[in-house]
Structure formats: C-alpha cells, structure tokens
Chains A and B, each alone.
Chain A
Amino acid sequence: MRRTLAALVGTAALVIAGPSLADTLTIATVNNGDMIRMQRLADDFRQKNPGIDLNWVTLEENALREKVTTDIATKAGQYDVLTIGTYEVPIWAKQGWLTPLDLGSAYDVGDLLPPIRSGLSYDGKLYAAPFYGESSMLMYRKDLFAKAGLTMPEKPTWDFITEAADKITDKQAGIYGICLRGKAGWGENMAFLTTMANSYGARWFNEKWEPEFNGPQWKTALNTYLEMMKKDGPPGASSNGFNENLALFQGGKCGMWIDATVAASFVSDPKQSKVANDVGFAPAPCGTTCKNANWLWSWALAIPSSSKKTADAEKFVAWATGKDYLQLVAAKDGWANVPPGTRKSLYDNPEYLKAAPFAQMTLQAIDSADPGLDGNSKPKPYIGVQFAAIPEFQGIATAVGQQFSAALAGQTSASQALQNAQLLTEREMRRAGYIK
C-alpha cells in the first residue's frame, strides 16, 4: 500500500512538472473554411521562415472573442496573433491593446479595399490586416422568380421584396418567400436589422448618443421585417441564424435570403447545395435610401501589444494577408477558394472573376458600405455600419436583439419591443456616461 501511495504521489509530481517554453507564435483563429485552409497551407510560411513555429488555437467566434478579450484586457500575453473583426479593432486600438502594423513596402497597403482598410484603422494607422472581407447581399432563386413571373431589379427595394416574397411563398410545397436572421444577438439578428433600419434612414444613436428606437425609421423597418417574416418566412425563424438559413436555402426551402456575401460560394457549390444552378445575386434592398443597406465586416489579423514576438508575428501577418498568399491558395485549391474582399488587385484578376461569378457583386457591396461618421443618411457619432464601435454595444445590441427576436416569435408586439429597446439602451448609455 505504501508503494501504491508513493506511485500516486509520483504521478501527481509528474503532473506538476513545469511547462516548457517553445519559441513559437500562438495564433488564435475562428473556425471557418478560409482560416482552416490557412492552417493547412502554413507549411509555406514555415519553409520561408525556418526559425518560427506556429501553434493554433481554433475556436467558435463567441468563445474566441471571450478568451481573447480576457487575455488582452489582463495583458496575459498568451497570443501573438489574434483574429478579430472590424468591431473590435478601433476599440482595442484606442485602448492601446494592439500594435500598429508595419508590414513593409512589399506588402502594398494601398492595394487593400478602402472601406476595409478604414474599418481596421484607428487614428490613421492600420492596426489589423484583413484576412477576408464581406458585406451582405440578396441571394434569390432564379427558377422560382421565373415561375412567379418576377424579374429582380438592379437595385431592389423592400416594397418589391415584400411583394416578391408573397408571390413565391408556397407553404404546402415547403417553400418560403424569404429567410432572414431571427436569432437574438448583436452579430446575429441585429447585424441584419441594423442594415435594414439604415435603409430606412435610421441610426442607433443621434449626435448626443441618444438612442432612436422611438423614431419612425426603426418602426417602419421592424414592422416591415415582422410582417414579411410572419407571412412568408419559415416556421421557427426566431431561432434562425446564418447556418440555419444556409441549410434552408441550400435545401431549396427559401425564395430569397439576405445575408453575408461569403454565403455566395456555399449556395452556388453543387457539392453542398441542391439549388446551386438556380441562384442569382442582387444588392441588399433599399428602403427610403440605399446608404449602408448592406453591412461591412472583415476578419483580420492583429498583434496584441502584450506579445513579445512582434517582429515574427508581423512576418506571419504579412504572409497570411499578402498578395502571394492569394496566389498560393489559387495554386493549391483554385481561384474560387481565395479569401475574398480584401485586395483591389484580386478584383482585377480575370481568372478570379471567371471562377467566382459573385465577385463583382461582393466588391460592389463592400465598396458601397461606409462605416464612417457620415455613412448613414443622417450623421452619427459612431463608427460602424451594422454596429457602433463602442465597448457597450455588444451587450446593448444583444439585449435589443432579444426584444426583436421575441417580437418575431410573437411573445411581444413590435411597438412594445421598440419601447423596451429604447428604454434599455437609454439606461445603459446613461450609465456608461455617454448621455449626460
């Protein structure tokens, strides 16, 4: 028995052996096709930089955001390269949490798409390099449109979409005119609803940081959305996010779907989509204006100021977001799989344009989004199209999203949801000191 006890203590002692320090870069990424491809192709980086090894931490978006925020706020320095979005970059750069990037002249910063570059800059300096960029657009079934005698206009309006959704819907055949996000969350239903509200001239806050949910613009947007979804949307839409709608559209259940431009490659891939040959693309609908009717997002690579391997990390960021990487992906997996939405030169490349029929639409959508202070039809005090780049936004918008999702589920009325949204946003903004 003494021996057993000694063995137990021995094992415990082994467990308490200290960690070994490896000279490696730790890279935090999200789990999406482009990022996974980057991991697979990283041997190219290792060959070009023999002294640097790479460790990957791949997580779901929200889990990653939580972990990385904790790490960076406490300056724990576990990560050398972070994957963050356009929402975090200006906030974190302002806090001094990120290192401004100096990627050398060969990197050609001027080739980055201006809206994406501006979304990742703070005070004129680039704080994150875009890995891929996206906007939102309308995907529709050309066969169902033809059957209903409809033609998609060059610039569709919400009035047209409402009418078309109604004509296409055939609930007995399991076809719903329109599929839109309903799941609550700042990056879920609120990303879509904010752009829809923008198209009716709404904004989150006026110049005094007072919320505007009690105005006619938000009211029109929410009522149009709710009426359309209740009449022509799929059942249980209040729990549908990107993936659920993707599955519905690919399975032939949706006539129209407005979501991320990145979805275009999924729905037009015959390996995973039943309707690949019948998909058409159009800009996101306009209401009273087209300003910021589609969102702007980019997953970008940044270096936390707590990293002690800045020079090596910059080499990696330059490799993963540089022009040569696009060529590498094209050579290995074809032009259709190149990460989209970051560089002008990609959209001048005839091979890419041939391989990706949705490329021009993606570029137009990205180019038309303006996250700046004058991007909406009325001036706003915040940066961002589908979000306001302030730390409080995540919490507030998720709470507002819950109100709107409840209205979609029929648990509350549109006017009540708007009133609650106004009250809770005002309370939080007052508490945070924005409203004096």
Chain B
Amino acid sequence: MARAIPTRRRWLLSLLAWAVGLIIFFPILWTVLTSFKTEGEAIAAPPHILFFHWTLENYAEVQQRSNYIEHVTNSVVIALGSTLLALLIGVPAAWAAAFAPTRRTKDLLMWMLSTKMMPPVGVLVPIYLLFRDWGLLDTLTGLTVLMMLVNLPIVVWMLYTYFREIPADILEAARMDGARLFNEIVHVLAPMAAPGIASTMLLNIILAWNEAFWTLNLTAAKAAPLSAFIASYSSPEGLFWAKLSAASTMAIAPILILGWFSQRQLVRGLTFGAVK
C-alpha cells in the first residue's frame, strides 16, 4: 500500500509529461497533417483529423513554384556561418569574462544582454540604410554577420555560464606547465566545456534558422532563406493553408532532424553543471 502512492504519482506524472509533450508537439503535427490535405479539406469545419483524402499535390506544387534547394542552402549558410563567427568571437569573450573578470565585467555582460531586450523593428531603418550603403542588402554576407551580431549576446552568456563551472585552477595548472593562452583555450578549456559549446552551437543554429524578422526584411530574391520561402505561401485572397503547411513542413524538416539527432548533446549541454 505504501508503494501504491508513488506508483500512481509516477503514472500521473508520466501522463502529465505526455500531455504537455503532445500539446507542445500538436501545432507541428497539425501542420504536417494539413500539408497532406487538399485546400478544401484544410479549412473543413469540423476538421478532418486522419480520415481525409491524403495527397502529395501540395508538395508537388511547392516544388514546382519555388527553388527549395536554393532557400535551404541560404538557410544553412546563414545558420552555420553566423554560429561559427559567433563562437569565434564568443569563446574568447566568455573566457575573459569568466577567468579574467574586471570591475566592469558584470555591467558589460548585462549591457550585452540588454541589447536583446530591444525590439528589432526599432533599429530596422538604421540597419537597412547601413546595409544599403554597404551593398549588403540581399546578400548572404550581410545576413550572416547580422545573425552573428543578433545571437552573440546569447552565445557569450551561455559560454560564460559554462566556463564558470570549470575550476580556474585547472587552467592555472596548464599555464604553469607552459601553455599559452591559445593552447589553454583550445586544448584545456574547450574539451572540458565541449558539451556547453555544443549546446550553444546547436541553440544558435536553431535560432538563426528560425529567425524571420531580419531575414524577411533584408532579403529580396538572392539571399532569401526558408523564412521567406514560407512567407511566400501566405495569401489574403484565396485558400493557401495546405500549400503553406507543405512549405512549412519542408522548412522545418532539416532542423527537426538535426535536433532529433543532437538532442542528447543539447540536454547534456543545457544541464551542464546542474548536478555536481
């Protein structure tokens, strides 16, 4: 009898976890299901959940109308490029903040974070004008650099949190053994903080992949990533839900697969140092 309560609680907690999981996953599931419906069935009321005429016509039309591969390539270049650039700058910055702090380090970190509190539309016009004058509108270069800048505060903060978990004595020991700063970061710090760096990298890729404000406003035809690909299927006059869902499914598929395969690293990184 004493065991019955924990078992019931376990069941309840499992049920709750499944319910929460389903609620979170439901919009994605619904999008995927809608992508296999006809436009008429996509707006049917009451909605048809599984028993409808399954069709691939939306995928065929999306393939015919848009250059999916070009949009995916642009998304990959922007997401990976901006992440690598952000790590290149973020790792030394986080090292300095974690192991060589000054009186103003905390303020500096807070200032970095505060830039994320500003709505992006507030700086759209100045950024747009800079991009225009520097010839960066509708270029992968411009978007990659901008995405790096947009996500840099998060990268620095995450790395700083992970680095602080590493005892400074180990780095000091490496220094006493003659390691120079570069070797200290690359050979001692990086391997120890690998889970943290990996999760920072993955999160940054996901954020850059899903970003829609800047990528929509600063691109036209050449550098448009998947966000622009999805946006091109929304219409104020005419039915579009099924085709929009097909485009969305195609856009989220690569990042979902990446997330699925790297979930262990993500969880490890996000819980890094949580239990000692």
Contact = CB atoms under 8 A, between A and B. Distances in A.
Interface of A: 1-2, 5, 8-9, 11-12, 14-19, 22, 26, 28, 30-33, 36, 39-40, 55-63, 66-67, 70-71, 74-76, 78-79, 187, 241-243, 246-247, 250-251, 260, 262-263, 266, 271-272
A63 B187 contact: no
Given A2-B186, A17-B141, A247-B45, 10 more contacts: A15-B81, A15-B140, A19-B222, A36-B65, A55-B221, A57-B224, A67-B220, A70-B128, A71-B220, A243-B236
A266 B141 CA distance: 43
Contacts of A36: 65
B88 A8 contact: yes
Contact of B138 (A66, A78, A241): A78
Interface in B131-189: 132, 135, 137-141, 144-145, 186-187
Contact of B236 (A74, A242, A251, A271): A242
Contact of A260 (B39, B221, B237, B240): B237
Given A12-B88, A56-B221, A31 B233 contact: yes
Nearest to A2: B186
16 contacts: A8-B88, A12-B81, A16-B81, A19-B141, A19-B223, A32-B236, A55-B221, A57-B224, A57-B232, A60-B231, A60-B232, A66-B217, A70-B124, A243-B237, A266-B239, A272-B40
A63 B231 contact: yes
A242 B141 contact: no
Contact of A12 (B85, B124, B223): B85
B137 A76 contact: yes
Nearest to B38: A272
B44 interface: yes
Contacts of B221: 26, 55-57
A67 B217 contact: yes
A148 to B, nearest CB: 24
A55 B219 CA distance: 13
A18 B141 contact: yes
Nearest to A242: B237
B132 A31 contact: no
Residue with the greatest number of chain B CB neighbours at <10 A, chosen from A31, A61, A187, A262: A31
